[in-house]
Amino acid sequence: MTGRELEEFRAEVREWCRAHVPSDWRQTQTGASDAEFVRFQQDWFQQLRAAGYAVPHWPVEYGGGMPVAEQIVLYQELAAHDAPRLVLAFVAVHHAAATLLAAGTEEQRRRHLPAILDGEIWVQGFSEPGAGSDLAALRTTARRAGDEYVVTGQKVWASGAQYADWCLLLARTDPNAPKRQGISYFLLDMRTPGVEVRPIRQATGESHFCEIFLDEVRIPADRLVGAENTGWRVAQQTLGAERGLTMLELAERLGNAGFRWLAEACAPIDDPVVADRLATLEIELTGLRALCRDLVERHAAATAGPADASIVKLYYSELLQRLTDFGAEVGGMAAQTVVRKPMSGGWESGAWVLDFVGSWEWTIPGGTSEIQRTIIAERGLGLPRA
Ligand SMILES: Cc1cc2nc3c(=O)[nH]c(=O)nc-3n(C[C@H](O)[C@H](O)[C@H](O)COP(=O)(O)OP(=O)(O)OC[C@H]3O[C@@H](n4cnc5c(N)ncnc54)[C@H](O)[C@@H]3O)c2cc1C
């Protein structure tokens, strides 16, 4: 792809954004009800789909096939035009799709990928009260009974479970095998009898995630992904989906809206200490965006190192904390008292105290910062195992 073709594509996306990004979404999504949030997200998803921008990373036969260089431009322009985020479809278009494409049957792919494009919502049901960093310690069990599995247990921190139609579920099928070898991977219809979802109220007042209780839940055997007891390997495909493009999108949003809110909070910049910290953050954001572009390109070329994604995730999450912390510091009284922020956005809304509290979510999921540092040390630098 030539530079000229890429610039033509950028102009096309810019024009589309000017015509389609709702200018008032931050106002209409502040204080929106759950139903309004879901409707808005579904509608935005369909607009992106009609333009060919909803699943650019999927294979061409399922509606994707966009070259990587264009995907980078697409996410840069969506962020530059402060487009709403696809919050609700996130697990479906990234985690569920990556898993089904890598390990699902043809039948499972045909059943779910078109349905995801029509708006099917997914949740990831991996973590449990005693299994987070040590995910392989999970205790939810699945017992084979004829052509079904009967599942009992509890999941926790399941983002968006209250809206989900389907769940990516890990459960133990062989209690006697070494712990990584006795786990299986299921597609669970969230409307199956015995599934109970309880939202968890957070410090910000939102309920981003939920507990899921499973009581003798029956899952047809053809909803197993991969062979029985190979779920650990399949789960690596799901976790791998968090790399690359998802980080690029978040970094671009932090570098655009996030930095704009921050510069506004600092204005007028007549204090050299404030100017210095703002400049440092801008330099760090430039570094982060370059790191993300590099990661996406190396993923596409299959040349990414084993710790590259960990480096990006660690740097993004800690920079997000530094930036929102500084916003809360310079934003004056308003930064402490505005306690409403729009749904459909990210962790950068200009409601600084909420953004700062929310930023701590990022050093935990997808592997905590301690786990990322261990990966960087052992797999990236080749240091001896702890
Ligand atoms: C915003 C958010 C969204 C999430 N969404 C989902 C979701 O959709 N689906 C899902 O399944 N899960 C989800 N999670 C759960 C997330 O994956 C776990 O919280 C995470 O893996 C950490 O597990 P834990 O909470 O049990 O903490 P623990 O594993 O108990 O860790 C507690 C502390 O001990 C440290 N620690 C643990 N083990 C080690 C070690 N070996 N070396 C050094 N330090 C260690 C950790 O770094 C941490 O500081 C989400 C979590 C958050 C915060």
Contact predicate 127/157, CB 8 Å: yes
Residue with token string 């890990």: 170
Residue-level pLDDT at 340: 85
Strands 148-159 and 166-172: unpaired
User: What distance in angstroms lies between residue 132's CA and the mean position of ligand 1's atoms?
Assistant: 4
Q: Is 126 in the pocket of ligand 1 (CB under 6 A)?
A: yes
Q: Which of 368, 372, 383, 385 has most ligand 1 atoms within 8 Å of its beta carbon, as the pocket-test mutant?
A: 368
* 41 Cβ closer than 6 Å to some ligand 1 atom: no
Residue range 82-101: mean pLDDT, rounded: 96
Give the mean pLDDT of 158-166: 97
- pLDDT value at position 121? 98
How many angstroms separate the alpha carbon of residue 134 from the centre of ligand 1? 8
Cβ pair 335, 353 in contact under 8 A: yes
Torsion 303-306-311-314 (CA) sign = positive
Q: How confident is the model at residue 16 (pLDDT cuts 50, 70, 90)?
A: very high
Which residues have CB under 8 Å from 316's CB, separation 6+?
A: 247, 250, 251, 254, 288, 292, 362
Residues involved in catalysis: 242
Which ligand 1 atom is at minimum distance from the Cα of 130?
Answer: 26
Ligand 1 touching residue 364 (CB < 6 A) = yes
Mean pLDDT throughout 137-151? 98
Name the residue of 90, 91, 127 whose CB sits within 8 Å of the most ligand 1 atoms, as the mutation to test its pocket. 127
* Ligand 1 centre distance from Cα of residue 355 (Å): 20
Alpha carbon nearest to ligand 1 atom 1, residue = 361
* Beta-carbon count within 10 A of 281 CB: 22
Sign of the C-alpha dihedral computed for residues 140, 238, 377 and 373 taken in this order: negative
pTM of the model as a whole: 0.95
Nearest to 83 by CA among 158, 18, 135: 18
Whether 286 lines ligand 1, by a CB cut-off of 6 Å, is no
Q: Is 368 in the pocket of ligand 1 (CB under 6 A)?
A: yes
Write out the E strands in 262-307: none
Would the CB of 132 count as within 6 Å of ligand 1?
yes
Instruction: Give the tens place of pLDDT for each residue, 299-333.
Output: 888 898 999 999 999 999 999 999 999 999 998 88
Q: Is the pLDDT confidence value at 204 over 80?
A: no
Going from the Cα of 361 to the center of ligand 1, the distance in angstroms, rounded, reads: 10
Nearest alpha-carbon partner for 288 in 280, 14, 372: 280
207 lines ligand 1 (CB under 6 A): no
Distance 110 CA to ligand 1 centre (A): 33
- pLDDT score of 351 more than 80: yes
Q: What is the CA radius of gyration of the chain?
A: 21
What is the number of the ligand 1 atom nearest to the C-alpha of 369?
47
Question: Once rounded to an integer, what is the mean pLDDT over residues 251-268?
Answer: 92
Residue whose Cα lies nearest atom 12 of ligand 1: it is: 127
- Per-residue pLDDT band for 339 (boundaries 50, 70, 90) equals confident
Residue 274: its pLDDT value, please?
95
Are 267 and 289 in contact by the 8 Å Cβ rule? The answer is no
Q: How confident is the model at residue 350 (pLDDT cuts 50, 70, 90)?
A: confident
Closest CA to 115 of 158, 166, 191, 65: 166
Summarised one tens digit per residue, pLDDT across range 28-65 is: 999 999 999 999 999 999 999 999 999 999 999 999 99
Q: What pLDDT score was predicted for residue 181? A: 96
- Ligand 1, atom 29: closest residue by C-alpha: 133
- Share in percent of the chain as helix, strand, coil (round to 5): 55, 15, 30
366 band by pLDDT with thresholds 50, 70 and 90: confident
Alpha carbons 288 and 207: distance in angstroms, whole number: 29
Q: What would the pLDDT profile of 120-142 be if each residue is shown by its tens digit?
A: 999 999 999 999 999 999 999 99
